[in-house]
Structure 1
Amino acid sequence: PDPVTCRQQGNYAPVVQLVAPKQQQIVAAGVGYRFGKNGSIKTEAALSRNDLNRFSELDDSDDTGLATFTTVQNVFRLGPDTNAWALETTAGYELVQRNFRALNPYREPEFLRDWNIANQQGVGVAPPANEQLVRASLLLGRKNRGSVQYGFGAFLRDSLYTGIRHSASLQWLRNGWDINGEGSLLTTDESNQRTRFFRPRITLSKTIPALKNWRIGLEGAREQSDRRAVSNDTLLATSFFFDRLRIFTESVASETSNLSLSAARRWDYAPFGENYRSLSVATEYHVNGTWQPAKAIQWSGSLGYRELEVAATAPASLTPASTFLGRMDFNGSFFKGAIRTVTVYELSAGQEPKLSFTYVPVTPGSGTHIWLDSLYNNDGKIQSYEMELAPFQDQADYIRVSSVTDEYVRTDNASLNYSVQIEPRAVWFAAKDYRKTLSRFSIVSSLQINRKTREAPGVDPWNPFQLAIPDTALVSVNLNARNSLFFNRADPRYDIQLGESDLQSRIVQISGFESRRTLEYFLRGRWNPSVRWSIQLGLTQGRRESDSELFNTRDYRIVSWKTEPQVTFLPSKSFRTIVRYRLQRDRNTLGDTGETSLQNDLSVEAAYNQSARSSLRMRASYIAIQFEGQPNSPVGFALLNGLQNGQNYLWNVGLDRQLGKNLRLSLSYEGRKTGKADVVHVGRAQVTAVF
């Protein structure tokens, strides 16, 4: 409130709006009748009820609505056989009351645009009104020759809208020639405007047998929507007008290959007074095709290039641009499945809004992030750099919300998804010589890259492997690579895995760039001396990096190594226990502070399952940490991960119980004692009902 007048100055009230129970129902009935040889009549009626609040009887008078339609169709043969010319007549009438609510859209997707209610992009909403729709058409056609059609339509929406639409279409097939044309002319009168919408389109193509039935063609289209105010002849800003010309050629589609090429030019015009003036000219080239040289190998792809030229009178927000849009897919299987690979490469361009992140408090323990104000300035105000992923769920009191700003940048996007699996066993499973040993090896490799950049010198928009990009040209980049070499993979006795994983992310926000990287090299082995016992050992060496442009206190480069032996005992199918030990050493090599951490982690885990009805899980951990450095710092938090220097104890118990066919109960308890801090107890109960 105002400190002087006490007048409220805000826009919101601390009120939680209750959601009323709603009910939507519909009942429909229809009947059809056939007369003569080719005549039919169909009619259908539907009654809907849409109650926005079942607990209230107020305003119930607008809950129900009626809709009905009737269609009459007849075909007149103009010759003695079925291949003769035929005249098809169709007439229909549709009535929809203002309060009728359909469960699902029942009209064609382009309905609002066809009647010039939606804009050029097909976006538009028609307010509720009593509607009447009349349609009639005459179609004269002959099989394998073609057809010609004329249609008439009238659409009335109370006194808000009256539209009259004429349409015509032509199809002609003769000696390899194919002529397809259609067009419509719509005039409307509305309460605040009158419109005229003209939409012709024609396609002329020829199939050439001498060129293995390749097809070449020419296509032309126009859309001109004149929208004028009732009081004058000036075109409204919502008017649009464009011409489009396209030439194309394509092969006959087959099981092994197909190819199509096209080039198009589009002229756009903007309303200016009572006429239009040039806005832009766009030239496009497209290539699409598939190729399957063998049963187990398949290529498919598409590539488009668009060059936009802008008129001198165009608004400043519209700028010339050259963009690519493409996708390539490759699926291959070689040597009887010994090598399998999948590759997807995509290229695109678009507008990307600049992002900013805000953190919103939620119910304690139901979020994802923790606020670490004490590690920074301790000013009681939330700054984005003071938020971290919560190490324990009961500390997760905030969620991160992405806010889209009103500032947009043009981006070039490149992405690559690649995976390959090499299994010599598929070919050498019965070999006896050295190939038997080689068949025990296998390789699994995957790579994912998603990159968004701005146009800048030296930046290739099509190259996803170019990751060293100046911050002025970078929007975001994410990389996830994983490569593993297996020996005796999935063998019941033992196996060995040698691998590397690399996870990188870099994003430019309003507050500057932030980058993270986690790189690991690992060696893992498993040995099952018996059915009940399993022994595993893991060795890992890695590096974690964080770099923030404006908040240097968040920067670190942590080098680590760890070893993790594990013993699993399985005395029965219903009970399992695991003893695990982890020795890990971390050291920050960035700067001269040199924070270090040595952790000894011993944990015991047990699980008991009683068929599919209930399961009990228990785990206890003792973690001894020797930490050197400032624990109340971003680097200290990254090294300790919510724990403290000294002795730490963690324990938890979980119970899942199936109470009925559709009802499940989950109980959990977590406790911890970290360093000299007090003991923390967290209990949760959840009932899940599946309908």
Structure 2
Amino acid sequence: LNRFSSLDSEDDFGIAGFFRADYLKKFADKGKIQSDQHYLKANFLYEGIDEHFNPINPYREVEFSRNWNLDQTTEKTQEHLVSSLFELKLSGYTASYQFSSLVKSGNFNGYRHQPSIGWVKGKFLAKLYGDFLWTDGVLETSTFFKPFFDVRYKGKMALGFTFNREKNVIKAIDSAIPGIRSFAFDNYRLFWDMNNNEKNQVQFFVSYREDFLPKEAQLVKNHYAVDAGLKGFWNKGEKMRIDYNINYRQLKVIATSVNPAIKTTGTMLGNLTHRYTSSNDLLILNTRAEIISGQEPKAEYIFIEVTNAGQGNYIWVDSNGDDIKQKGEFELSPFGDNANYIKIAQYNHSFIRVNTTMLYHDFQLNAAKFFKDGQKGFVASQLKRLSLLGNFRLDQKIRESNDGGFSAPFYLNPQDSILVGFHATSNITLYYNKANQVYDIRIESRYNQANDVQIDGLVRLAGRRDKVAVRYSGLQNIDLISSLNSGFNNYMAELYPVKNYAIDQFEFEQELRYRITKGIAVQGKYTFLSKKNQTGNYETLAGHKSELKISVRNLNQFNISAGLTYSRMNYSGQPGNSIELAMMEGLKDGNNYQWNIQAGRRMGNNVEMNIIYSGRKTGIIKTVHIASIQAKARF
């Protein structure tokens, strides 16, 4: 860019300016005191812009072009905007009139009239407003009429009615036929608010709207919509509160030939929240439900190979042995250093209408709060040690019914073909003697289930894990933890049956933690695991795993940790497929060694440096060494 060149410099200089004058005259009320309730207001505005002026920042309202029905003329010309306003207010009466003119030399002439009348008497309010526009342009002429009426009552409850119309007729020069940008609608709305206080609030509205679109030589009724909404809350002190907000819209298309893109649909948006806390905190409940309906683009996923291994998240496992990369053959990598594929979502121009629903609930039960302080007895002493926590979440995407109506919000059967997406999780944990310094018992159950049809065909996953863990810390600086785990892990791919599995699993773990000093700790762990696939080739796995870890830490200076894991696996299945990956989690049949060393040091108050080294030797595969350096800075 040569800023000193004189070529094409004719439009380098532009001029714009404006002038505004305001007048305000207040009148005295009956007490001969000037008041804001009695006044006469007037103003005058002029804006001038030459054809070479280019604004750096927007200086007009966002709806300026729409309000003036500016056509698609791109040629820049001089612009002149003139506006004058007169407003008179006497007690509860208000009247105003505004006239505006926009002239783009040789291209556009527009004239706009905006009258308004208002009345307020006690708790009653009424307003009538109009916005009327006539324009002449190089390519088209237009008339735009926007009347608006509002009447309402405000007391302990509020009741009101509004009506607004927009009719915009845009015609080509020397044509009597409305253009494609022409439209009209009538909107009627009734609302009701009641009991607006700290304990209870209810807001309700219903509206009816008719839309008209151009067809042949006139605007015809194309569709209508009925909207209804309910919003509010109810609470009972600090114990319980319910919040809700529900909106439903039914759109009915009459003339499908005018605009085929507009279809009959039912749409719902809503959420409900419930919170409850008992007076003594014995029971705490939280529940939330959400419903959203609408259309979303169809998503397709592709897997792209990255330049360097370790920069991705996925690996390719050729499950069917055809040496062809297929979408369903990519698996999450158990080791980050060999992940050489990433998953990318691609969206096309196809849309589907779905109803998205979410249900979440969590609870907390503390049995100790049920008993009085000092209450004795064996049953009471044992029950006081119990506490229960849990949560549940359900996410669904449900394909909309064929008639455009809103489907039922929840389908608890994930086998139903109407489900586009399904994901359910639950976690429940029972504690005995929680946070006791000597011992505690934990019983937990975790479950998850999911359906996915967006990668490559239908894929169903399900898993469950039940665990019992006992901790004993009666010995000085020593913790003993024993646990039993059982559960299953299922996978079904409609297009890749060789990947399907139903794995039952069992684990026993014994862990010892020894704190030598305040900054030095040693941890040892032994695990026995057994897995069996109940389908396909009925693969089995029996394994033993031993882990040793030591850590040295100075809270404000440095930390060093080192770990070594030895795993002995006896696997009966074929190597190199997705079932082996699911059962052994990246390990191999035979001996497996994994080790790591990490050293970190704080460099000042906000900088931390870490050096990390890890390695593994899995089965007969060559040894892998990985080293990295990290620097963290907090600002």
> Which TM-score band (shorter chain)?
0.7 to 0.9
Counterpart for residue 28 of structure 1 = none
Equivalent in 617, 626, 634 of residue 682 of structure 1: 626
- Deviation at residue 441 of structure 1 after TM alignment: 1.1
User: Which runs of structure 2 are paired with 1:521-600 in the superposition (5 Å)?
Assistant: 521-529=466-474, 532-591=477-536, 593-600=537-544
CA distance in structure 2 between the partners assigned to 1:525 and 1:517 by the alignment: 27
For residues 49-68 of structure 1, what are the alpha-carbon distances to aligned partners after superposition, in whole Å with 9 as ceiling and x for unaligned?
Answer: xxxxxxx8779999999998
Maintained 8 Å contact 2:157/2:195: yes
Distance change >3 Å, CA 239–CA 312, structure 1 → 2: closer
- Deviation at residue 518 of structure 1 after TM alignment: 1.4
Counterpart for residue 224 of structure 1 = 167
Tell me the secondary structure at the aligned position of residue 453 of structure 2. Answer: strand
- Deviation at residue 418 of structure 1 after TM alignment: 1.0
CA distance in structure 2 between the partners assigned to 1:135 and 1:663 by the alignment: 61
Question: Mean alpha-carbon deviation: is it higher for 622-631 or for 155-164?
Answer: 155-164
Counterpart for residue 81 of structure 1 = 33
Tell me the secondary structure at the aligned position of residue 550 of structure 1. Answer: coil
CA distance in structure 2 between the partners assigned to 1:152 and 1:106 by the alignment: 20
Counterpart for residue 308 of structure 1 = 251
Distance change >3 Å, CA 636–CA 110, structure 1 → 2: same
Equivalent in 396, 417, 424 of residue 451 of structure 1: 396
Question: Mean alpha-carbon deviation: is it higher for 335-344 or for 150-159?
Answer: 150-159
Counterpart for residue 253 of structure 1 = 196
Maintained 8 Å contact 1:154/1:165: yes
The residue identity in structure 2 corresponding to 1:516 is L
Distance change >3 Å, CA 494–CA 305, structure 1 → 2: same
Counterpart for residue 626 of structure 1 = 570
1:206 matches 2:148: no
- Deviation at residue 520 of structure 1 after TM alignment: 1.2
CA distance in structure 1 between the partners assigned to 2:54 and 2:4 by the alignment: 12
Counterpart for residue 591 of structure 2 = 647
- Deviation at residue 167 of structure 1 after TM alignment: 3.0
CA distance in structure 2 between the partners assigned to 1:147 and 1:184 by the alignment: 17
- Deviation at residue 690 of structure 1 after TM alignment: 4.6
CA distance in structure 2 between the partners assigned to 1:582 and 1:349 by the alignment: 48
Distance change >3 Å, CA 533–CA 164, structure 1 → 2: farther
- Structure 1: gaps spanning 5 or more residues: 1-55, 119-123
- Deviation at residue 377 of structure 1 after TM alignment: 3.0
Maintained 8 Å contact 1:184/1:198: yes
1:179 matches 2:126: yes
Maintained 8 Å contact 1:358/1:400: yes
Counterpart for residue 138 of structure 1 = 86
1:671 matches 2:615: yes
CA distance in structure 1 between the partners assigned to 2:337 and 2:14 by the alignment: 51
For residues 106-142 of structure 1, what are the alpha-carbon distances to aligned partners after superposition, in whole Å with 9 as ceiling and x for unaligned?
Answer: 7666556545579xxxxx9x99999876655333335
Equivalent in 455, 461, 464 of residue 407 of structure 2: 461
User: Which runs of structure 2 are paired with 1:85-124 in the superposition (5 Å)?
Assistant: 85-91=38-44, 100-102=55-57, 113-115=66-68
Distance change >3 Å, CA 68–CA 312, structure 1 → 2: closer
- Structure 2: gaps spanning 5 or more residues: none
Equivalent in 133, 151, 154 of residue 98 of structure 2: 151
Maintained 8 Å contact 1:259/1:288: yes
CA distance in structure 1 between the partners assigned to 2:461 and 2:128 by the alignment: 56
Counterpart for residue 367 of structure 1 = 312
1:470 matches 2:391: no
- Deviation at residue 425 of structure 1 after TM alignment: 3.2
Maintained 8 Å contact 2:390/2:429: yes
1:350 matches 2:294: yes
CA distance in structure 1 between the partners assigned to 2:77 and 2:4 by the alignment: 17
Distance change >3 Å, CA 422–CA 168, structure 1 → 2: farther
% identical aligned pairs: 24
Distance change >3 Å, CA 470–CA 138, structure 1 → 2: same
CA distance in structure 2 between the partners assigned to 1:339 and 1:59 by the alignment: 77
Maintained 8 Å contact 2:328/2:456: no
User: Which runs of structure 2 are paired with 1:179-198 in the superposition (5 Å)?
Assistant: 179-187=126-134, 193-198=140-145
User: Which runs of structure 2 are paired with 1:335-346 in the superposition (5 Å)?
Assistant: 335-346=279-290
- Deviation at residue 571 of structure 1 after TM alignment: 3.2
Tell me the secondary structure at the aligned position of residue 565 of structure 2. Answer: strand
- Deviation at residue 171 of structure 1 after TM alignment: 3.3
Maintained 8 Å contact 1:599/1:626: yes
CA distance in structure 1 between the partners assigned to 2:214 and 2:481 by the alignment: 73
CA distance in structure 1 between the partners assigned to 2:455 and 2:171 by the alignment: 42
* Greater relative contact order (Cα < 8 A, sep 6+): 2
The residue identity in structure 2 corresponding to 1:403 is Q
**TM-score, structure 1 as length reference:** 0.80
For residues 650-691 of structure 1, what are the alpha-carbon distances to aligned partners after superposition, in whole Å with 9 as ceiling and x for unaligned?
Answer: 112223333345544333222111111111111222334455
Question: Mean alpha-carbon deviation: is it higher for 240-249 or for 523-532?
Answer: 523-532
Distance change >3 Å, CA 127–CA 521, structure 1 → 2: farther
1:402 matches 2:350: no
Maintained 8 Å contact 2:522/2:549: yes
Counterpart for residue 286 of structure 1 = 229
For residues 75-108 of structure 1, what are the alpha-carbon distances to aligned partners after superposition, in whole Å with 9 as ceiling and x for unaligned?
Answer: 3102242434112334556789965444xx8766
Maintained 8 Å contact 1:428/1:436: no
Distance change >3 Å, CA 627–CA 274, structure 1 → 2: same
Distance change >3 Å, CA 183–CA 505, structure 1 → 2: farther
Maintained 8 Å contact 2:327/2:455: no
User: Which runs of structure 2 are paired with 1:473-512 in the superposition (5 Å)?
Assistant: 473-509=418-454, 511-512=456-457
The residue identity in structure 1 corresponding to 2:347 is V
Maintained 8 Å contact 1:228/1:235: yes
Distance change >3 Å, CA 547–CA 82, structure 1 → 2: farther
- Deviation at residue 164 of structure 1 after TM alignment: 4.8
Tell me the secondary structure at the aligned position of residue 677 of structure 1. Answer: coil
CA distance in structure 1 between the partners assigned to 2:436 and 2:141 by the alignment: 76
- Deviation at residue 644 of structure 1 after TM alignment: 0.8
Distance change >3 Å, CA 189–CA 561, structure 1 → 2: farther
Counterpart for residue 419 of structure 1 = 362
Maintained 8 Å contact 2:157/2:196: no
**TM-score, structure 2 as length reference:** 0.87
- Deviation at residue 183 of structure 1 after TM alignment: 3.4
Distance change >3 Å, CA 154–CA 617, structure 1 → 2: farther
- Deviation at residue 626 of structure 1 after TM alignment: 0.5
CA distance in structure 2 between the partners assigned to 1:78 and 1:290 by the alignment: 44
- Deviation at residue 621 of structure 1 after TM alignment: 1.0
CA distance in structure 1 between the partners assigned to 2:13 and 2:391 by the alignment: 57
Distance change >3 Å, CA 138–CA 538, structure 1 → 2: farther
Maintained 8 Å contact 2:549/2:562: yes
CA distance in structure 1 between the partners assigned to 2:531 and 2:4 by the alignment: 68
Maintained 8 Å contact 2:317/2:576: no
Question: Mean alpha-carbon deviation: is it higher for 179-188 or for 105-114?
Answer: 105-114
